[in-house]
Structure formats: structure tokens, C-alpha cells
Structure 1
Amino acid sequence: MRVRGYAPATPCWSVLSSGDPAAAETFYRGVFGWTSARTEDGATVFLLRDLVVAGLADSGGDRSGWLTYIATEDADATAALVAGNGGTVLQPPADILPRGRAALLADPAGGVFGVWQRAGFTGAQVANEPDTICWSETVTWDVDATVAFYGRIFGWTEQDGTAGVNTHYHEWIAANRVVGGISPMNELYPAGTPQHWRTIFSIEDCAAFIARTRELGGQVLAGPVDAGIGHAAHVVDPTGGAFLVIELLPELRHLLG
């Protein structure tokens, strides 16, 4: 689906920060059928049908991971709110001209996220269709503390998940609209797993995606599994970036619109 803008307090953009950007670029081009290009400021973006779907950055040798950016009208004010509510400003707001202004932040439990104040670029230009990002969620040990923090930062509220998953799930609400999720960690997660944000991609065929992942050097941590709303898999790219994919049940695919 073509996206032309994002309301404040809405996840709007995801970037893979990779220790080996060249290897990551090869993997994602192969597994999703994306192309790639360079922006005016030298950044790398992935495209589907010539529309920007996600970004790629060099982590400088650090571990790889997907980073969720949340739209804001004032990156400086949001960073100040984070710092004043027990979070951490990892990278202060800075201009990324001509595209926008961004900051890298962490919640009190260590979950890292970014905020994006748009200028010439609003965020992903295509989403909520196969081979694009369809969902972002906070993965946490402490739902109550997470709800309290993000409620103060973005004005989000929480409701029980309504998509029919098999485990208890929560959804983020902004301006009476579902904008993301909260996934509680349980005994299936290794002790000490930090709170984090997770990026989820829509796919058409989970089994075929798993096969492509393995052929291209990625790993499958779990899946395909019945997630209640479809078949899902938890995978890791060859550089260590983890993400989820979901093949929605046919009767639920209208939810992506």
C-alpha cells in the first residue's frame, strides 16, 4: 500500500543497522526481491516498485539489528521527554538534510528506538503489503512499566490484542487507532534478554520464505509456527539482524489496508 505520510506518534520508518552492510544488502535484495539505492545524504534505502520500504546503515562493527523510528513533530522535545522520564538519549537530535531530523533513544529498560521529524522524507513509502513492513512491537518483560513510559512520551494507551493470537498480546493505541503492539516475554526467552523493538514483515508464503532465507545464508530461529492470525517465522539475516515474518490468514489480509 502506498503511504504518503504518518501521523505523529506512529511508527514510520525502520532501518537495519548492520555490521556488514554489503552482505545485508545482498540478503534482503534476494529474500524480499527489493532493489537498493543511495539517497542525497549517502544513506542506503531498499525499494519495492521504486518506492522506499526500509533503510540500511553501517553499525560500525557493532551487532546488527532493526531499528524502529516513530514520527514526531519535534524531535528535540521528544528526546527531552525521554530523558526526563528515565530513558536515555543515545544520539541527540540531528539534521539529516534534506530528509529530516532524527534522534536515537532508549526506554528505561534499554529498548532502543528512534524518532523521526520529517522534512523532505516522511518515512516508508510502501507498507502493509507482501514484502514490506506491516507491524512494529515492543518486546518486554514488564508490560505495565512499558505502557507507562511510552504513554508519557507519545500519549499512547494500551488495549488487549484483538487479532486472535494464541498468547496474550497488547496493542498500542494513538488517536483511537492501533499503531503497534506489545509482546510480553515469557519463559521461552533466554534469561537476560533485553527489552527491544521488533520489526515484522508481511509475506505471501512462509514456507517459501524460510527456504529462501536458508539458501541466502540466514537462520531460522522458529517457524513456521501458528500465530493464530497466520503462519509466522523468527529469522536472522547473515549479519545477525533478527526480524519476524507473517503470512496472514486469507480472511485477515484486509487488516493490512
Structure 2
Amino acid sequence: MRVRGYAPATPCWSVLSSGDPAAAAEFYCGLFGWTTEPTEDGATTFLLHGLAVAGLAASPSGRSAWLTYISTADADATTATVAEAGGTVLQPPVDLAGRGRAALFSDPAGGVFGVWQRGRFAGAQVTNEPSSICWSETVTRDVPAAAAFYGKVFGWTEQEGTAVVEHEYHEWISANRVVGGLSPMGEQYPPETPQHWRTIFTIDDCAGFVERAKALGGRVLAGPIDAGIGFAAQVMDPTGGSFLAIDLVPELRELLG
């Protein structure tokens, strides 16, 4: 689905911060059929059918992770609100060659996320179709605390999810729209796993996707498993960045499309 802009407080862009951008680019282009394009600020944009689908940047720490960016009309004001709500400013707002202004934060439980104030670039230009991002969610051990923090920062409320009946799930609501998810950590998570944001891609044929990821040097952490809304797999790329991929059931594909 072609996207031209995002309302404030909506996940709008995902960037892989990688310890080895060249290796990461080779993996994801092989996995999803993406191409790459350099940006004016020295990063890389992944393209699907010539449209921006995700970003790639070198990780200052050397560790790899997918980062979710949430749209804002004023990155400086959001930065102040994050600090007031108990979050940590990891990177204050910076202008990225006129493409936009970005800042990076940690919530009180350690979940890292960013905000994006659009300039020439609004965010992902294609979503909710195979090989693109369809969902972003907070994975947490404390739903009320996460709801309190993100409610202060973005004005979100949370409600019980209706799409997944097999286990507890919540949804982020902004201006009466569902904009993301809130997933409680279960026993499958090691005790040391911190709160984090997860990036989810929609795919065709989860079993084939898993085999392709392995062949390209990725590690399959889980799956394919029946997630109730489709078959899903948790994958780690060769540089250490992990993500979820799901072959959605037809009715949800129609809803998202």
C-alpha cells in the first residue's frame, strides 16, 4: 500500500542500526528483494519497487537492532515530554540534511525508540504488502507502566486486542485509530530480556521465507509457528538484528490493505 504521510503519534519509519551495514544490506536485499539508495545524511534507504520501505544506518555501539520511529509535529517538544515522563534522551533532535528531524530515546524500562519530524521525507512510502513493514509493537513485562509512559509522551491509550485470541495482547490507540501493539512478555523470554520495540514484516509463504533466511546466513529463533493471525517466524540477521515476519491470514491482509 502506497503511503504519502503520517498523522502525529503514528509509527512511520523503521531503521536497522547495524554493526555491519554492508552485510546487513546483502542479507535483506536477498531476503526481501529490496534495493538500496544512499541518503544525503550518509545512511541508506531500502527500496521496494522503487519506494522507501525501511532505513539502514551504522550502529555507534556496534550492536544491531531494528528501531521504530514515531511521527511528531515537533521533535524538540516531544524530547522535553520524554524527559518529563521519565524516559532518557539518547540522541537529541538533529536535522538530517533536510529530510527531517530525528531524535532517539529510551523509555523507563529500556525500550529504545525514536521520533521523526518530517522534512522532505515523511516515512515509509510502502507498507502492509509482502516484503514491507506491517506492524510495530512494544514488548513489555509491565503493560500498565508502558501505557502510562507512552500515554504521556504520545497521548496514546491502550485497549485489549481483538485479532489474537490465543494469548494476551493490547493495542495502541491514537485519535481513535489503532496505530501499534503492546505485547506482554511470556515465559519464553529470558529473564534478562529488556522492554523493547519489535518490527514486523508481512510475507508470503512463511516456511519458504525461513529457508531463504537460513540460506542467506540468518538465524531462525522461532517458527514457523501458528500465531492465530498467520504463520510467523522470529529471525536474526547475520549482524544480530532481530525481527518478526508473518504470513497473515487473508482477512487481515484485506483489512491492512
Matching residue of 1:43? 43
What's the C-alpha RMSD, in Å, of the aligned pairs? 0.8
Q: Following TM superposition, by how much is the alpha carbon of 1:256 offset from its aligned partner in structure 2, in angstroms?
A: 1.6
SS of the residue corresponding to residue 235 of structure 1 reads strand
Aligned twin of 2:187: 187
Q: Partners of 2:204 and 2:132 in 1: how far apart?
A: 11
What's the counterpart of residue 250 of structure 2? 250
SS at match of 1:70: strand
Equivalent position of 1:95 in the other structure: 95
Counterparts of 1:71 and 1:146 in 2: how far apart (Å)? 18
Cα separation, 1, equivalents of 2:39 and 2:17 = 16
Letter aligned with residue 4 of structure 1? R
Q: Is residue 211 from structure 1 mapped to residue 211 from structure 2 by the alignment?
A: yes
- How far residue 255 of structure 1 moved from its aligned partner, in angstroms, is 2.1
Long gaps (5+) in structure 1: none
Partners of 1:61 and 1:216 in 2: CA distance? 24
Look up the match of 2:59.
59
Could you say which residue in structure 2 is the equivalent of 1:122?
A: 122
Unaligned residue ranges in structure 2 (runs of 5+):
none
- Structure 1: which 4+ aligned runs deviate by more than 3 Å? none
Tell me the amino acid that sits aligned with residue 119 of structure 1: G
Question: In the alignment, which residue of structure 1 is the partner of 2:201?
Answer: 201
Give the Cα separation in 1 of the matches to 2:148 and 2:201.
27
Q: Distance in 2 between matches of 1:180 and 1:24?
A: 26
1:43 Cα deviation (Å)?
1.6
Give the alignment's TM-score, normalised by structure 1: 0.98
Superimposed CA distance per residue, residues 131-162 of structure 1 (whole angstroms, 9 cap, x where no aligned partner):
00000000000000000100000000111111
- For 1:170, the equivalent position in structure 2 comes to 170
Amino acid at match of 1:80: A
Q: In 2, distance between residues paired with 1:3 and 1:38?
A: 21
Q: What secondary structure is seen at the aligned counterpart in 2 of 1:46?
A: strand
Q: Deviations over 1:148-178 (max 9, x none)?
A: 1000000001111111341110000000000
Letter in 2 for 1:111: G
Taking only the aligned residue pairs, the percentage that are identical comes to 73
Contact 2:43 2:58 (C-alpha < 8 Å) held by counterparts: no
Q: How many residues align?
A: 257
Displacement of 1:61:
5.0
Amino acid at match of 1:82: V
Q: Structure 1 stretch 55-64 or stretch 125-134: which is displaced more?
A: 55-64
Specify the SS of the correspondent of 2:5: coil
CA distance in 1, matches of 2:12, 2:115: 9
Instruction: Report the secondary structure of 1:178's partner residue.
Output: strand
Secondary structure of the residue that 1:193 maps to in structure 2? coil
Matched, 1:68 2:90: no
- What is the DSSP-based 3-state SS (H/G/I as helix, E as strand, rest coil) of the residue aligned with 2:76? helix
